[in-house]
Amino acid sequence: MNTPKVALADVAPNRRQGGSTRALLTPVSVGATSGFLGTIDLAPGEFVAEHYHPYSDKYLYLTRGTVLVVLNGEEIELRADEALLVTRGTRNRIVNTGDVPARAVFQISPLAPKPELGHVDTEPVPYPDAGPPRVGGL
C-alpha cells in the first residue's frame, strides 16, 4: 500500500492572507476528495484576514499559543488544545493575541465545486502579491 504523506517542511507557506499557511493534505498533494488539512502559523500580532467559505466548514484546533477568532463579529478566545468549528458562510478572522507564536491545524470540508469558489475575502489581505488564494481557501 502506498499511503501518501506530506512533511510540513516540504510545503512552502502561503502568506497572502496573513501568517503562514501550509495546505498539507489536498487534492493536489495526496488526491484528497472530501476536504483538505493544513496548518496556520501566526507570530504575535499577526492575523489571517477575514474571509468565509461558502461551501465548506472549517475545523480549527490550536496546538500552541492563544488566538482570538472573530466569527461574524463575535470574539472567541482559543487557547492551546482547544478546538472550534467555523460553519460554512461564517465570516472569520484569526489574530494571535499572545506573546508567543501560535500554530493551528485546520481541516476544510467538504470541498467547493471548484477551487476558486472555496474562499471569499471580506477585508483586504495583508500580502496580495504573495500568491494566488489557496486551493479551496483557508
pLDDT score for 131 = 67
pLDDT score for 88 = 98
Residues of the chain with pLDDT under 50: 134-137
Q: Which fold, 8-121? A: Jelly Rolls (2.60.120)
Going from N- to C-terminal start, the domains of the chain cover: 8-121
Determine which helix (DSSP H) or strand (DSSP E) holds 59, and give its type and residue range.
Answer: strand 57-64
pLDDT score for 3 = 76
Residue that the C-alpha cell 501550509 belongs to: 22
CA 51 to CA 86: how far, in whole Å?
11
For 110-129, write each residue's pLDDT tens digit.
Answer: 999 998 899 999 999 999 98
CA 5 to CA 11: how far, in whole Å?
12
pLDDT score for 133 = 52
Judging by beta carbons within 10 Å of its beta carbon (0-12, 13-18, 19+), is residue 57 exposed, middle or buried?
middle
